[in-house]
Structure 1
Amino acid sequence: MGVTETPVIVVTGGTRGIGHGLARELVARGARVVICGRTGVDEAAGELGATGVVADMTDRAQVEALWDKAASLGPVAHWINNAGVSTTRRPLGELPADQIHTVVGANLIGVLHGSAVASHGMLAQGGGTVWNMEGLGSDGRAVPGLLPYGATKRAVTYVTDALAKELKGTPVKAAHLSPGMVVTDLLLQDYDPAELEKAKKIFNILADRVETVTPWLAERILAGTGNGGRVAWLTRRKAAARFATAGFRKRDLFG
């Protein structure tokens, strides 16, 4: 696949949060962006200047239709599996079964379908990169109350590593995309007021706003990485430095 002046990029779950911010930054950098979601797609696409497709990533036929729409605009340079949800913060034994099914479906089945469809299409067109979004649990940390979410993100890391091995020697790459801790509805959902106030102390050290992280991510997606590579905003070194300077470097992400 030759280099195009206007790359076509798919961002799943691009109607809000990190996906929405990332789509905005990629459009601003001249990309032809296709977003998908189950609701609010037309409104978000109109606001962003992107192409919108209603798609449930757990439905293989709908994922294939998303690929077809994107490919009709030109070779798909990047496919970003960003769509994801979380459960309420409860011990596993207290979680309703439907929440577990929803999280595993969106965060893992959706990534598997997206990776399968995108890698197959990219092999046929001669190149491209599949990016899978990491999150809490990807690095092996276990957080009580978020077991299904963390388990799916740990699995996504495996999916990406294994896909990179399957694609070795081809013109298609699989890579990890790690935004770190970002202040979105997903991060803040389901806290009671007292717990949220405690959590904000950590968030103000480690977290960042969407508009801070997504321009950096967009630049590095467009620059590309090697097969199996990782683009990570919040590295261990950066996190350690923030804790070390937290006493005199005050940040307020919620003011």
Structure 2
Amino acid sequence: MTVVVVTGGTRGIGQGLVRAFLAEGAQVAYCGRSIPDSSVIGDALGIVADVTDRADVRKLWDASVDKYGKVDIWINNAGLSNSRKPLWRLDPAEIDAVVDVNLRGTLQASAVVLDAMLAQGHGALWNMEGLGSNGQIVAGLMPYGATKRGLTYATLAMAKELAGTPVKVGLLSPGMVVTDLLTRDYEPAELEKAKKIFNILADRVETVTPWLARKVLAGTRNGGRVAWLTNRKAAYRFATAAFTKRDLFGNS
């Protein structure tokens, strides 16, 4: 059976991926800075771990190998967004936290995981893209977007460093997904305006993550990307928005 590890698996896209991989028959481990009872997912192995701490990442790897015998796929999903404010209005600690988890944490975790995968002779590491990965700039989300832009570069650089080895890295792009990170910090009137775009381009976790899980299990070339919301799909949705009514924030 394929063994998958998902960091940041206690909520949002991460939790959706854990459930989706389990549904596909994989053996799954996941981590969070805490594992509340509400985050216990099926037969998955939940481990308390901080991805910015190499010792914690190694603990997650070792626990997964102890239980399942190997790790085939590792997904660096853990991430933070910042409050929707201009840079100069953000608390310094918030800027540090976003950079720490999204970029430094992913680099530190990747270093541990790639070394372990090379030692075991196989493996695939996936890094999660987000707003900013493709160069899109949104005012108020600068620290988050900068980390995701940097992470895309880092992943492609990892692919070059891994050339000729049995280990691959890839980019996972979930597109616009309805989570608390998407809707936080909007004023009520602004949120209602934003929802018009979200209802065209966004999707629910339970829609996106099963597709992503199947694509990850199918594999990709070293340095490849799996993207849910392609430019063609986005253009089609805008073109048909007047005829296709979607309500991602109601019951439909």
Give the TM-score range, shorter chain: over 0.9
Q: Look up the match of 2:213.
A: 218
Quote how far apart the aligned CAs of 1:75 are.
Answer: 1.8
The aligned runs of 1:166-245 (5 Å cut-off) are 166-245=161-240
Asked if the contact 2:173/2:227 (under 8 Å) is kept, the reply is yes
Q: Look up the match of 1:55.
A: 49
Asked if the contact 2:4/2:73 (under 8 Å) is kept, the reply is yes
* Structure 2 counterpart of 1:114, one-letter code: A
Q: Look up the match of 2:246.
A: 251
Quote how far apart the aligned CAs of 1:41 are.
Answer: 4.8
Quote how far apart the aligned CAs of 1:29 are.
Answer: 1.2
Establish whether residue 12 from structure 1 lines up as the match of residue 7 from structure 2: yes
Asked if the contact 1:139/1:154 (under 8 Å) is kept, the reply is yes
Query: 2:63 pairs with 50, 61, 69, which one?
Result: 69
With the length of structure 2 as denominator, give the TM-score of the two structures.
Answer: 0.97
Quote how far apart the aligned CAs of 1:49 are.
Answer: 2.1
Asked if the contact 1:42/1:52 (under 8 Å) is kept, the reply is no
CA distance in 2, matches of 1:247, 1:28: 35
With the length of structure 1 as denominator, give the TM-score of the two structures.
Answer: 0.96
| Matched position secondary structure for 1:124 | helix
The aligned runs of 1:87-236 (5 Å cut-off) are 87-236=82-231
The alignment covers a number of residue pairs equal to: 249
Asked if the contact 1:35/1:41 (under 8 Å) is kept, the reply is no
Q: Look up the match of 1:3.
A: none
| Matched position secondary structure for 1:182 | coil
Report Cα offsets for 1:195-249 as digits up to 9, x if no partner: 1101100000000000000010010111110100000000001001111111111
CA distance in 1, matches of 2:151, 2:69: 27
Asked if the contact 2:35/2:46 (under 8 Å) is kept, the reply is no
* Structure 2 counterpart of 1:121, one-letter code: A
Q: Look up the match of 1:84.
A: 79
CA distance in 2, matches of 1:33, 1:219: 14
Query: 2:32 pairs with 37, 41, 65, which one?
Result: 37
Report Cα offsets for 1:71-110 as digits up to 9, x if no partner: 2222211000000011110000110000000100111111
Asked if the contact 2:177/2:204 (under 8 Å) is kept, the reply is yes
| Matched position secondary structure for 1:230 | strand
Asked if the contact 1:34/1:53 (under 8 Å) is kept, the reply is yes
Unaligned ranges ≥5, structure 2: none
The alignment's C-alpha RMSD in Å is 0.9
Query: Percent same amino acid among aligned pairs?
Result: 66
Report Cα offsets for 1:99-144 as digits up to 9, x if no partner: 0001001111111012111111110001110000000000001110
